[in-house]
Structure 1
Amino acid sequence: MLWPFGVGAAFLVSGTYARSNGSYNGSDLDAPMLAGGPRGGPGAMLRFGCSQAVIERLDPLVNPDLNPSAHMHQIVGGNAFNASMPLEDISQLATCTTCHFTQDFSNYWTANLYFKARNGTYKRVPQMANQFNDGDAGGITIYYTSPGTNATTAFKPGFRMLTGDAMRRTSENLGKNMQQCYRCFSEPNFGGSMYSPCFDPKWDTDHLPKQPCPGGIRSNIIFPLCWDGKSLDSPDHREHIAHPVGGPPSFSIVTGTCPESHPVKIPQVMLEVNWDTRSFNDEIEWPEDGSQPFVLSTGDDTGYGQHGDYVFGWQDDSLQLAMDSQCYLRNCSLLPSQMPPDKNKCSVPVTAPENIDGWMDTLPGVDMETSAYTP
């Protein structure tokens, strides 16, 4: 199942998120994207932005209760995010969310990206709003897909998962079905057809691009779509989830057969992160040895260690209803939503103050000789 779009018309239409009377709906927000062509298949696919909630060295999955944790993350979603996330209904603990749909108090977080200058110092590369998410304060674009009504089982309160491996430095060799990739933009927020993050060799790679990207870099992170049906979590935050038999399908094809060990199909979650590298494109400032200058907050200069963390926090059965009702993009009358200025007001207090935006001699918490955490 694919949702093909012609990109030409979509990129010529400028988007807005509010009508003159201050109201809006999903069709208003997604008008530029919908102008690219008709929907190409059945099923649900939510696509929405979550603005930045906080940038901090916390990781309640891998390093629970540790403050600060191993490396810097960007976090979006509900304001219940903390160094320790209890195994309970997060939607009952949060009071606001940076996400478009107000019933989504989930938390999503990924590694930050840094620029390494010729003199060896580092500066964080800021996130920028993804295409058609005008007005968002950076953050992440979230996708949830399901092939049809009653085809997937939404996550349960307390559910959490991790995809990717922060210590990986080589390719998984998954070809077009790889779980994470990067897109080099020729101009801001442009990089080929939508919803095909790992198909086009002209634009996509599974490692950080080795040449300047005039419009920035996009990172795609895809989560598994099969669950054991019992465990809300596992020791490594991965064992309770799995890819379909025969390997992971290409997004947004979510019809693969789940293995007997993980028989329950869950909505497929994908994250898109856009980094504004435009101010770092002067190769005179790049390392003299010719190496590419971008480094994840883990110390990884290959990009293979990109990863994503997820704690479910949708209120009541709202996500299940959206999947079964085949909601599309932000067009879902079942889900209350908010405009960017409102979600941008939600934030998480910083509990471990560190240098976030200035130049620094080393990455926070990372020994650059070993890429190991040094408290």
Structure 2
Amino acid sequence: MKWVSLFLAFAFSAPSRAYLRFGCATLSVQRLDPIVEPGKIPSAHVHQIVGGNYFNATIDPKIDVGEKASCTTCSFSEDFSNYWTAVLYFRARNGSYKRVPQYPNALLGSLTGGMTIYYIQESFNSNGKQKMTTFKPGFRMVAGSPANNKAGNKGLTYTCLKDVMTRFPETAEFPKEPCPAGIMANHHFPACWDGKNLDSPNHQDHMFDTGKGGFSVAGSCPASHPVRVPQVAFETMWNTTQFNDKSLWPEDGSQPFVWSHDDRKGYGTHSDYLFGWKGDALQRAMDSSALVSTGLKTQSVALSNKCAVQSSVKEEIDGWMDISHYRFIGSGGLEVSDATEIFGQ
């Protein structure tokens, strides 16, 4: 349980701080997306998923995931939410592709891949005075869009890691040079909710983003979306170091990494969130000024790593693959026009 003590110490180091930072091991890597493409097997592109094991192709909004799941890959054992992003691939000079492995963030022990999850009240240094209303069973949202092909995706960035503790600078596109410790993908969700809808047709309109980028304090919520909720954020550490030999990179010297939806610039990075905390566990945490009296339950790394779901799609997503196979498991036939329709952009 040493790793739990480490991250708790980090999160609780000052009584004025009120945020959760914790690791979730990989639950599955497969083509499913119960928010954007419910019921579709396979979904358009490969995702890496963490969280509770109720994850499947169709998750009815009427179902309380926190009551249905039996295990979670997250360090807080009452968090059966699901968090997922696209998968990163390396595109070699010879035209072949290989999935980039993940590794756990600093202080999170020997988790298997996965992500670091944050629930922020105001900032790392203050919990503020505003009431934080947590999400309800059935709630879901998406940040970013695979259809986006230009800069300006606030809160969706990359960090070229000099070491595992690097946090700056952040860029809107993939780093253009080899990164000594890999690439961290950062995903920040909006923190203003309309207070009524658990979802919306494009999975974004029920939320409003007053964030200023990164973990800075978000602006006031507008009248249309008056309910302040915790800002959810993901960090995914992609271990690109085995691909740092530039003789493998495209001959023109361009960066070689590509998302599974066939995005080679990085502007189309996106992430999905499906709420699944058990009971009022998350609300208790957000009501606490220091998060030390919430009674949140934790579990060992071994239990987090043990939780998994089987893939619903029988296909090879690892090893070196040619362009035709990458396009099959990657972009999967989702054209930009289709993504635009889905995400409303």
Q: TM-score, normalised by structure 1?
A: 0.82
Check conservation: 2:102, 2:239, Cα contact below 8 A. Answer: yes
Residue of structure 2 equivalent to 1:152: 132
CA distance in 2, matches of 1:334, 1:96: 19
CA distance in 2, matches of 1:290, 1:47: 37
CA distance in 2, matches of 1:332, 1:305: 40
Which of 94, 106, 110 is the equivalent residue of 2:69?
94
> What is the letter of the counterpart of residue 355 of structure 1?
E
Residue of structure 2 equivalent to 1:183: 159
CA distance in 2, matches of 1:59, 1:352: 12
1:169 aligns with 2:149: yes
1:290 aligns with 2:253: yes
1:372–1:133: structure 2 CA closer, same or farther, 3 Å change rule? Answer: farther
Which of 180, 200, 207 is the equivalent residue of 1:214?
180
Check conservation: 1:58, 1:83, Cα contact below 8 A. Answer: yes
1:54 aligns with 2:28: yes
Unpaired runs of 5+ residues, structure 1, are: 1-16, 19-23, 193-199
Deviation at residue 251 of structure 1 after TM alignment: 3.7
Unpaired runs of 5+ residues, structure 2, are: 339-345
Check conservation: 2:7, 2:21, Cα contact below 8 A. Answer: no
CA distance in 2, matches of 1:270, 1:316: 21
Residue of structure 1 equivalent to 2:195: 229
Residue of structure 2 equivalent to 1:314: 277
> What is the letter of the counterpart of residue 180 of structure 1?
L
> What is the letter of the counterpart of residue 347 of structure 1?
A
Deviation at residue 256 of structure 1 after TM alignment: 1.8
CA distance in 2, matches of 1:301, 1:291: 10
1:323 aligns with 2:286: yes
> What is the letter of the counterpart of residue 119 of structure 1?
N
1:49–1:370: structure 2 CA closer, same or farther, 3 Å change rule? Answer: same
Check conservation: 2:44, 2:333, Cα contact below 8 A. Answer: no
1:95–1:270: structure 2 CA closer, same or farther, 3 Å change rule? Answer: same
CA distance in 2, matches of 1:275, 1:133: 15
1:346 aligns with 2:307: yes
CA distance in 2, matches of 1:231, 1:143: 23
1:370–1:118: structure 2 CA closer, same or farther, 3 Å change rule? Answer: farther
Check conservation: 1:112, 1:296, Cα contact below 8 A. Answer: yes
How large is the Cα RMSD of the aligned pairs? Answer: 2.2
Residue of structure 1 equivalent to 2:97: 122
1:69 aligns with 2:43: yes
Deviations 1:120-145 (A, max 9, x none): 01000011011111111010100001
Deviations 1:93-150 (A, max 9, x none): 1000000001100000001100000110100001101111111101010000113366
> What is the letter of the counterpart of residue 59 of structure 1?
D
Greater share of residues in helix: 2
Which of 47, 56, 79 is the equivalent residue of 2:53?
79
Q: Report how many aligned residue pairs link the two structures.
A: 328
Check conservation: 1:30, 1:132, Cα contact below 8 A. Answer: no
> What is the letter of the counterpart of residue 255 of structure 2?
Q
Deviation at residue 68 of structure 1 after TM alignment: 0.4
Deviation at residue 42 of structure 1 after TM alignment: 2.5
Check conservation: 1:190, 1:215, Cα contact below 8 A. Answer: no
Check conservation: 1:46, 1:143, Cα contact below 8 A. Answer: yes
1:327–1:74: structure 2 CA closer, same or farther, 3 Å change rule? Answer: farther
Deviation at residue 326 of structure 1 after TM alignment: 3.1
| Percentage of identical aligned residues | 47
Counterpart of 1:344 in 2: which secondary structure?
A: helix
Check conservation: 1:43, 1:145, Cα contact below 8 A. Answer: no
> What is the letter of the counterpart of residue 134 of structure 1?
G
Q: TM-score, normalised by structure 2?
A: 0.89
CA distance in 1, matches of 2:332, 2:55: 26
Which of 327, 331, 334 is the equivalent residue of 2:295?
334
Deviation at residue 357 of structure 1 after TM alignment: 1.6
